Structure 1
Amino acid sequence: MDPGGAGEGTDVEHTELQADCGNCFGLCCVALAFTRSADFARDKAAGEPCGHLGADHRCGIHDRLRDRGYAGCTVYDCLGAGQKVSRHTFAGQDWRGSADGGRAMFAVLPVVRQLHEVLRHLAEVRALPAAAELHAAAAAAAERVEALSLGGADDLLALDVAAERARVGELLRSASALARAGFPRRRNHRGADLMGSRLRGADLRGADLRGALAIGADLRAADLRGADLLGTDLRGADLRGADLRGALFLTAPQLAAAAGDTATRLPAGLAHPSHWS
């Protein structure tokens, strides 16, 4: 999104919604499970430390993850949940020294991550000039969700995250409709199965692609300006030369899971993944 039209008073700074591994106890490297596949070189159970995690909570192959067979790690983004759980929720208590071996921390991590994802989307709504009438509602929702994310471990584990996401979802849908209203042709592909679809050069301006499965889709040179990409599965999708300027609710992990190049045009605030050619 173009930050020039941002609403006033965004409560949550973008830096708080970005991973800060230096202030985290390597939670994602322990809490999450992965299965040996094209994305991971080996199996790892949830709660088991990755073999590449050092005593300093840093990944020993961080700059070589794709070369070493851990492309899946490069797609994950905790959105700042790791440092919040490490430093705030558990007040700097290392999982290695906790009585339960970190089980509570590992359970809280995905809850806070989902709340941070909601906060990221709400910040985007408040940066949409076309959704100005919703800026106040988005600010109030962000204040409520931020307060929830700062709760204690027991409160977070008892939280109905799905209900919170649904509550905010209505606001996001309304903002999307307002932002896309100016496009003359708005295709509806919400939840569609577009796996492997040949959409090279397609006019998808202002399209609704929420929750669509676009795994392996050929989107080379496609025009996706203003398209709603909330939850769109772009794994293996070819975005070379595509125009994604102004795309709504697009995230860095979605881009990291896709293929692209220097000709791919992105919304303000998002960078080309390092592995793109």
Structure 2
Amino acid sequence: MTSTDSPDASTDDRSALRANCADCFALCCTAFGFQRSADFPIDKPAGTPCLNLADDFSCSIHDSLRPRGFRGCTVFDCFGAGQYVSQNLFGGKSWRERPDTSAEMFSSFSVVRQLHEMLWYLVEAAERATTSELCGATAQLRREILRTLDGDASTVLASDVEGIRAAVRQTLIDVSEEARGGYAASAETGMSDDLHPSADLVGRDLRSIRLCGADLRGAYLIAADLRRGDLAGVDLLGADLRDARLEGADLSNALFLTQSQIDAAQGDNTTVLPAVLRRPRHWLT
């Protein structure tokens, strides 16, 4: 979110919360580290450039990341933090041009990414909240985050991210409860007792279970079978959807779903997504 935008809390401006790699100094390829795993074929220490990073800050293997074992790169979303830090906080001067700013730039990127992710969720919360109390709480949190982002790098780094996160988390829980309230009757008669926040549903076949209105916040849905399922009103905030089967599933009205969750899952052209999310390229190949 740029300081010149600063929309009021009722404005849906997700455009600034989407990654624009062309205006970023490859911060996701440098600031964060990773270890050899199913998601990465090599080790990379934090604060060092990836070996695949080109001189113009592009990825030299971008079109073949998955087959080369860099699956983790394909599911990462900075929520627009990369271009904000590169162009706004550091005035378009890269860490290569100014090596003395690299540590502060990388640290700022980590903080801004968290703040932008919270803004993404709050945009949806503002759309779903119906009571004046929840609308007011959502608007106030968005204004607080935007004020922080209007500062310089030192202001961002000094922000109370954990305190803001705690307040955002409670507001999202309250909005979720309100949004899922309309599904309560069907939930009582059709849902399994296993469906709850942080539930371990790894590999589970959930095709025969009515999910509408379930609270699966933070649930482990790795390789779960959700094919042809109706996920209307299902809270998926922070749920792990790696390799979850979503073919034919309707997620158009699922709560707090992000692009990175969709990118990590398996689906096809029959999967119905929220309008703000795109169909991953690997679903079509």
Aligned equivalents of 2:171, 2:150: Cα separation in 1: 22
Aligned to 1:86: 86
Over 4 Å off, 4+ runs: 129-133
**C-alpha displacement at 1:152, in angstroms?**
2.2
| Correspondence 1:226 to 2:227 | no
1:89–1:152 contact (8 Å) kept in structure 2: yes
Aligned equivalents of 1:129, 1:211: Cα separation in 2: 21
Partner of 2:215: helix, strand, or coil? coil
Aligned residues: 270
Partner of 1:36: helix, strand, or coil? coil
Residues 139 and 129 of structure 1: CA distance in aligned 2, closer, same or farther (over 3 Å): closer
Greater alpha carbon shift after TM alignment, 247-256 vs 262-271? 262-271
Aligned equivalents of 1:135, 1:65: Cα separation in 2: 41
Aligned equivalents of 1:129, 1:171: Cα separation in 2: 10
Aligned to 1:213: 220
Aligned to 2:29: 29
Higher relative contact order, chain-length normalized (CA < 8 Å, sep 6+): 1
Q: Deviations over 1:60-80 (max 9, x none)?
A: 222221122211111001110
**C-alpha displacement at 1:237, in angstroms?**
1.3
Q: Deviations over 1:143-165 (max 9, x none)?
A: 11111123222222232312111
2:227–2:249 contact (8 Å) kept in structure 1: yes
Partner of 2:63: helix, strand, or coil? helix
Aligned to 1:185: 186
Greater alpha carbon shift after TM alignment, 257-266 vs 156-165? 156-165
| Correspondence 1:250 to 2:250 | no
Aligned equivalents of 1:256, 1:27: Cα separation in 2: 20
**C-alpha displacement at 1:268, in angstroms?**
2.1
Task: List alignment gaps of at least 5 residues for structure 2.
Answer: 1-7
Aligned equivalents of 1:110, 1:150: Cα separation in 2: 16
Aligned equivalents of 2:101, 2:90: Cα separation in 1: 13
Partner of 1:97: helix, strand, or coil? coil
Report the TM-score when normalising by structure 2: 0.89
1:126–1:139 contact (8 Å) kept in structure 2: yes
Q: How does 1:98-247 map to 2 (within 5 A)?
A: 98-100=98-100, 102-128=102-128, 130=130, 134-183=134-183, 184-186=185-187, 188-247=195-254
**C-alpha displacement at 1:99, in angstroms?**
4.2
Greater alpha carbon shift after TM alignment, 71-80 vs 150-159? 150-159
2:247–2:270 contact (8 Å) kept in structure 1: yes
Aligned equivalents of 1:43, 1:249: Cα separation in 2: 32
Aligned equivalents of 1:253, 1:223: Cα separation in 2: 20
2:129–2:175 contact (8 Å) kept in structure 1: no
Amino acid at match of 1:13: D
Aligned to 1:3: none
Aligned equivalents of 1:12, 1:111: Cα separation in 2: 22
Amino acid at match of 2:186: R
1:202–1:221 contact (8 Å) kept in structure 2: no
User: CA RMSD, aligned part only?
Assistant: 1.9
Aligned to 1:4: none
**C-alpha displacement at 1:185, in angstroms?**
3.0
Aligned equivalents of 2:246, 2:127: Cα separation in 1: 25
Give the % identical residues.
49
1:201–1:220 contact (8 Å) kept in structure 2: no
Aligned equivalents of 2:208, 2:120: Cα separation in 1: 30
Q: Deviations over 1:94-118 (max 9, x none)?
A: 1112243611111111110110011
1:201–1:221 contact (8 Å) kept in structure 2: no
Aligned to 1:17: 17
Report the TM-score when normalising by structure 1: 0.91
Aligned equivalents of 1:132, 1:224: Cα separation in 2: 27
Task: List alignment gaps of at least 5 residues for structure 1.
Answer: 1-7
Partner of 1:181: helix, strand, or coil? helix
Residues 134 and 62 of structure 1: CA distance in aligned 2, closer, same or farther (over 3 Å): same
Aligned equivalents of 1:247, 1:140: Cα separation in 2: 24
Aligned equivalents of 2:272, 2:221: Cα separation in 1: 18
1:216–1:238 contact (8 Å) kept in structure 2: yes
Q: Deviations over 1:196-223 (max 9, x none)?
A: 2221242100100001111121222222
Aligned equivalents of 1:153, 1:261: Cα separation in 2: 41
Residues 201 and 220 of structure 1: CA distance in aligned 2, closer, same or farther (over 3 Å): farther
